Amino acid sequence: MIIYPAIDLLGGKCVRLTQGRYEDSTIYGENPTEVAKKWQAEGAEFLHLVDLDGAKIGRPVNIEVIKEILKNVSIPVQLGGGIRMLEHIDTLISAGISRVILGTSAVKNKQLVIDAVAKYGNKIAVGIDAKDGFVAISGWEEVSEFKAVDFAKIIEQCGVKTIIYTDIATDGMLSGPNLNAMKEMTESVEIDVIASGGVANADDIKNLKPTNVSGVIVGRALYTGDVTLGEILEVG
């Protein structure tokens, strides 16, 4: 199981949101590059970046910060947030992003997913953010008519090999992941599911193992000091 430390970018800084609310953000680093280097030094084997400005606006915004991070770390980086066109994907993969995560665009434009997978294969992932079991889009400000599990099956048929599944109710709450939702998702599709949301301690990682997720994204708990990356890596 791969542990992905999360770096959420807002206004060029490293922040964390609570349940996806932009008005409820906490700055945890003025220099995201230094944060990325810290996680690599502590043993991370993959980083998870989110361009929160991009998610809201609908195009990559923190591209210079992202490029700076890529120059300074040697581990792979996946990125989501505001990626709505094939040109955006081209730019990010050319810059060195290892895996591009489509979110809102995957819900609104299935053809983009098909085209992106045809061009880049397993470098394309889809983020499924669920609110009460339904897929939320546009920086979590809208809820679609798709049930998360049904949407995951559609994405699997498009050839996507990895989904990042976030339960918004637990995100940033340090309340523990939604184990039932994660288990339901892994049992519904045969592709990799990366869990996101709610991890507060090493026990949460242990509890996720039986759900058969392939990876776990950890955010706020690392920044508040509730857990160290080393502690999580030991059980992951």
Chain segment 1-60, per-residue pLDDT in tens = 999 999 999 999 999 887 778 888 899 989 999 999 999 999 999 999 999 999 889 999
In this model, does residue 142 exceed pLDDT 80?
A: no
Residue 108 sits in a domain of what CATH number?
Answer: 3.20.20.70
Residues spanned by the domain of 216 = 2-235
Residue of 59, 197, 63 whose CA lies nearest to 127: 197
Spatial neighbors of 153 by CB under 8 A, at least 6 apart, are: 188, 189
The answer to whether 132 is a known catalytic residue is: no
Contact 11, 32 (CB under 8 A): no
Residue 51: active-site member: no
The tally of domains found in the chain comes to 1
State the pLDDT at residue 170.
Answer: 66
129, 167, 171, 204: which one is catalytic? 129
Enter the tokens of residue 199. 């991890």
